[in-house]
A and B are shown apart, each in its own frame.
Chain A
Amino acid sequence: MKLNKTLVSAAIVASLAYAQGSLADTQIVTGAAALPGGAGANVDLDFQITIPAFLSFRVGSAGIVDTISFAPSVADVLAPTLGMAGTGGDVGTGQVTVEIRGNGGSVQITEVTSGATGLSNGTSTISWAQINSADTGGGGIPAPTLSDSSNNTSAVAVTSTGVVDRSSVWTYTYDNPATPPQSGLYTGTATYTAVAL
């Protein structure tokens, strides 16, 4: 029985220590706080959620490099026109899907083109400046202007705090030059890079 009394005393001391808040996540209260309408006993529990940063960027078909083609007729070459429609792209008619998802803030897109003076047929070139690109999908992803010198940029605004979640369509057109280029098949590659700012 003496042992039992000692144990009970220890429990009471421990309970008082809790009531004084010495142990933050265990609390035992007595007296007015424990009676009806009293404050009761309360403890805290912390939560921590870690969200990693990521950036996902897609231009055209997923996992495939799309080709946009322009095939001006002889008449087109002789009577230069601006904004000639193309073919190809995952949407068709010279159009590609563009998607950006990320949670590291706003995004900057940079274009880098092949060749120092434009698309090439091996002996002659057509300037990248004659390839127009425009955000026609209304999704808020401006297309950077293609250039021979590269490194033009466009800015993509956040859709909510720290987050970009946008989808749109880019449409490419070709401006026939006033002076017809040498005949042939001109090819080149534009590479886009997205970076969170």
Chain B
Amino acid sequence: MKNLLLFLLVSALVADASAAVFFIGFGPAQIGVRVGQPAGVSTVDVNVPVTNVGDGTPIGGTPAMFVGAYARQPFSIPFKVFTLTVDSSTPLNNGFETIPFTEISWVAAAGDIPSGTFAGTPAQVILGPIVAAFVVIDTHTFSYANTNLIASGTYAGTVTYTAAVP
């Protein structure tokens, strides 16, 4: 039954779900993380209306993204914690100009993985430390601050989420 419970909780990471925190207890070391769709890297699109370029009006991105992470540790090392960090140190670029990720923030549907703004750093902690016996999931809706008048074009960039037991 313990394994069945783990299966159900792992499935919660794979399937779309609303925000929640689940206790999974202890067992063989395992860490999981999911952002966006289960398969393939998901993309948040932001399209700035021509009348709002650089005027400071926040522009919402679509779609909202599932974000989930969990960690489990053996009985032999109980009460360890895990964190979810994000690397947003490489700005978006259009080939000759850049937008720092500090221009992008998110609102959490439930706050289990809290709302925030990318720091533009390699290891920004966005969740935890949390005892490595829980699954935490939420839904994040992103927006672009749009505070600077910048060159036209399509800017692309990638952030990397890491769940780990320090």
Q: Give the B-binding residues of A (Cβ under 8 A).
A: 4, 7-8, 10-11, 14-15, 18, 23-31, 33-54, 101, 103-105, 160-163, 165
Given contacts A39-B164, A54-B50, contact A49 B41 (CB under 8 A): no
| Cβ B99 vs Cβ A34 within 8 A | no
Let me know if B158 is at the binding interface, CB within 8 A: yes
How many Å lie between the Cα of A145 and that of B57 in the bound state?
A: 39
B27 to chain A, nearest CB (A): 10
| Cβ B4 vs Cβ A48 within 8 A | no
| Cβ B149 vs Cβ A43 within 8 A | no
How many Å lie between the Cα of A49 and that of B47 in the bound state?
A: 6
Let me know if B162 is at the binding interface, CB within 8 A: yes
Proximity bits, B35-48, A CB within 8 Å = 1, else 0? 11111111111111
Residues of B within 8 A of A53 (CB): 50, 152
| Cβ B159 vs Cβ A37 within 8 A | no
Closest residue of A by beta carbon distance from B155: A49
* Secondary structure type dominating chain A contacts: mixed
A113 to chain B, nearest CB (A): 31
Residues of A within 8 A of B41 (CB): 24-25, 43-46
**What is the interface residue range for chain B against chain A?**
35 or more
Closest residue of B by beta carbon distance from A164: B149
Q: Give the A-binding residues of B (Cβ under 8 A).
A: 1, 3-4, 6-7, 10-11, 13-14, 28-50, 53-54, 61, 65, 69, 71-73, 77, 80, 82, 92, 94, 96-97, 99, 101, 104, 142, 144, 149-166
How many Å lie between the Cα of A36 and that of B29 in the bound state?
A: 9
How many Å lie between the Cα of A30 and that of B35 in the bound state?
A: 19
| Cβ B154 vs Cβ A47 within 8 A | no
How many Å lie between the Cα of A105 and that of B54 in the bound state?
A: 15
| Cβ B34 vs Cβ A43 within 8 A | yes
Given contacts A31-B29, A103-B53, contact A15 B10 (CB under 8 A): yes
Closest residue of A by beta carbon distance from B74: A35
Closest residue of B by beta carbon distance from A23: B39
| Cβ A161 vs Cβ B96 within 8 A | yes
Closest residue of B by beta carbon distance from A33: B31
Given contacts A4-B4, A23-B38, contact A47 B48 (CB under 8 A): no
| Cβ B150 vs Cβ A48 within 8 A | no
Could you give 14 example pairs across A and B, Cβ below 8 Å? A11-B10, A23-B38, A25-B38, A25-B39, A35-B77, A37-B165, A38-B29, A48-B46, A48-B92, A101-B149, A103-B150, A103-B152, A162-B151, A163-B151
